[in-house]
Amino acid sequence: YWTVDKQVDNKESSAQIKEAAMWITKGEVVAFPTETVYGLGANALDEQAVRKIFEAKGRPSDNPLIVHIADQSQLTDLVTEVPELAKKLIEHFWPGPLTLIFKKKAAVAKSVTAGLDTVAVRMPDHPVASRLLKACAVPVAAPSANLSGKPSPTSAEHVLHDLNGRIVGVVDGGQTGVGLESTVLDCSKQVPVLYRPGGVTKEEIEAVIGEVKVDPALRTPDEAPMSPGMKYTHYAPSGALFLVREREQIRQLVKQAKAEGKRVGVLTTEENATSYEADVIVTCGRRENLSSVANALYDGLRLFDREGAEIIYAESFPCSGLGIAIMNRLEKAAGGKIV
Ligand code: TXA
Ligand code: MG
């Protein structure tokens, strides 16, 4: 367990980072903070090391990982070409919460890409992540540092809750900022395709490179997603979560569930927090500021488990801007239970 204040760059913090980096170069897995969520990192060029990530998380082996780099020059070792559109995106959004998919080179460990001929790469915008990646001097494959199926970790406590004893350690850099995972965009296609909505919105991407396609599965849940990881249920609390379109309905549903003797939770926002008579009220930021909702969402979902909620009703959010990513995660947490 290494603690590194992201504001502080001194001898002591450098020593902590150096030690964590040493474990990664030795072929072990270490969790670390990024601006989106905590990642579980291993040397992306070391097949044995990468396998340990899948073991620790209980992750299905057909679900590829994102490779993290500290410097653009590292791209040349990983990908065969960087298309013009991708260069523009890199210039605008790196470092930042945008993952780009390219045709891969052979040096990338096979299990990183789950056998695909493409590789996902991103450059995190977090001082501790950058310092760690520089100290490793190898590209670092890292999924979110949660047990498969659970909400992604936004604090070192979340990581330890899920993975204590299964990994050599975690670099504690405090709470993450964005709170949702990066946007995933496939740039290996003629027209880029959005696979996962995230910290960088579709509108922001299109302002830089013009229109992009969207994986039809993001709109029609019955369709098979183009990105392997998007087919799995995710972010799910232990209680049954229902995503409710109309807020007024939640009061009614809460009453019914209480009458049935269930311990009821509601996921709401500061604006509406006093409108429900549920057993567990989890307030995730302010509706008028969707960044604050994204930032608080995963901790909120984990809170329902700590409070033993058996049935959970979640408010809906507008389907534009960051609201698209928030709704995507809630739809997955609900596993299709939409009222
Ligand atoms: O913000 C993030 O992206 C965090 C932090 C740690 O960087 N990482 C993260 O990783 O969310 P993970 O493994 O939870 O999600 C990676 C997603 C999955 O949906 C996976 O299917 C997709 O990226 N992916 C990775 N490589 C791919 C590829 N070659 N083709 C299509 N999808 C890919
Ligand atoms: Mg994940």
Q: Are strands 264-268 and 311-315 parallel, antiparallel or unpaired?
A: parallel
Q: Which of 24, 93, 99, 213 for mutating ligand 1's site (highest number of atoms within 8 Å of CB)? A: 99
Nearest 5°: phi and psi at 109?
-55, 140
Are 183 and 199 contacting, i.e. CB atoms less than 8 angstroms apart? yes
Nearest 5°: phi and psi at 168?
-75, -25
Contacts of 79 (CB under 8 A, 6+ apart): 102, 103, 104, 105, 119, 121
- pLDDT, tens digit, 9 for 90 and up, residues 127-157: 999 999 999 999 999 999 999 989 999 999 9
Q: How many CB atoms lie within 10 A of CB 38?
A: 29
Q: Does the pLDDT value for residue 222 go beyond 80?
A: no
Structure confidence at residue 305 (pLDDT) = 94
- pLDDT, tens digit, 9 for 90 and up, residues 249-260: 999 999 999 999
Note the maximum CA span of the chain: 61
182 lines ligand 1 (CB under 6 A): yes
- Percent pLDDT > 90 in the chain is 92
Helix axes 11-25, 127-136, angle to 10 degrees: 50
Q: Write out the two tokens for 185.
A: 């965009």
- Specify the residue with its C-alpha closest to ligand 1, atom 7: 39
Are 26 and 43 contacting, i.e. CB atoms less than 8 angstroms apart? no
328 lines ligand 1 (CB under 6 A): no
- Rounded to whole angstroms, the Cα distance separating 311 from 266 reads 9
Contacts of 307 (CB under 8 A, 6+ apart): 265, 279, 280
Residue 118 — very low, low, confident or very high, per pLDDT cuts 50/70/90? very high
269 lines ligand 1 (CB under 6 A): no
Structure confidence at residue 244 (pLDDT) = 97
ipTM passes above 0.95: yes
- Rounded to whole angstroms, the Cα distance separating 173 from 180 reads 16
- Specify the residue with its C-alpha closest to ligand 1, atom 10: 143
Helix, strand, coil share (%) of the chain residues, nearest 5: 40, 20, 45
- Specify the residue with its C-alpha closest to ligand 1, atom 3: 182
Q: Which of 66, 94, 154, 170 for mutating ligand 1's site (highest number of atoms within 8 Å of CB)? A: 66
Q: Does the pLDDT value for residue 234 go beyond 90?
A: no
Structure confidence at residue 246 (pLDDT) = 92
In total, the chain counts a number of residues equal to: 339
CA of 229 to the centre of ligand 1 (A): 7
- pLDDT, tens digit, 9 for 90 and up, residues 29-74: 999 999 999 999 999 999 999 999 999 999 999 999 999 999 999 9
Nearest 5°: phi and psi at 267?
-100, 115
Q: Does the pLDDT value for residue 221 go beyond 90?
A: no
Q: Which single residue is written with the structure tokens 């990982």?
A: 65
93-102, 203-212, 219-228, 261-270: segment of lowest average pLDDT: 219-228
CA of 66 to the centre of ligand 1 (A): 5
Amino acid at 136: C
- pLDDT, tens digit, 9 for 90 and up, residues 288-314: 999 999 999 999 999 999 999 999 999
CA of 12 to the centre of ligand 2 (A): 31
Ligand 1 atom closest to the CA of 116, numbered from 1: 29
128 lines ligand 1 (CB under 6 A): no
Q: Which of 116, 128, 144 for mutating ligand 1's site (highest number of atoms within 8 Å of CB)? A: 144
Structure confidence at residue 336 (pLDDT) = 85
- pLDDT, tens digit, 9 for 90 and up, residues 270-293: 999 999 999 999 999 999 999 999
Report the chain's mean pLDDT, rounded to a whole number.
95
Q: Does the pLDDT value for residue 233 go beyond 80?
A: no
CA of 108 to the centre of ligand 2 (A): 20
Q: Does the pLDDT value for residue 166 go beyond 80?
A: yes
Predicted TM-score (pTM) of this structure: 0.96
- Rounded to whole angstroms, the Cα distance separating 95 from 98 reads 8
Q: Does the pLDDT value for residue 98 go beyond 90?
A: yes
179-183, 231-235, 308-312: segment of lowest average pLDDT: 231-235
Q: How many CB atoms lie within 10 A of CB 283?
A: 18
* Peptide bond connecting 33 to the previous residue in cis, omega within 30 degrees of 0: no
Helix axes 290-306, 322-334, angle to 10 degrees: 20
Q: Which single residue is written with the structure tokens 């409070």?
A: 307
Q: How many CB atoms lie within 10 A of CB 61?
A: 11
Neighbours of ion ligand 2 (CB under 5 A): 144
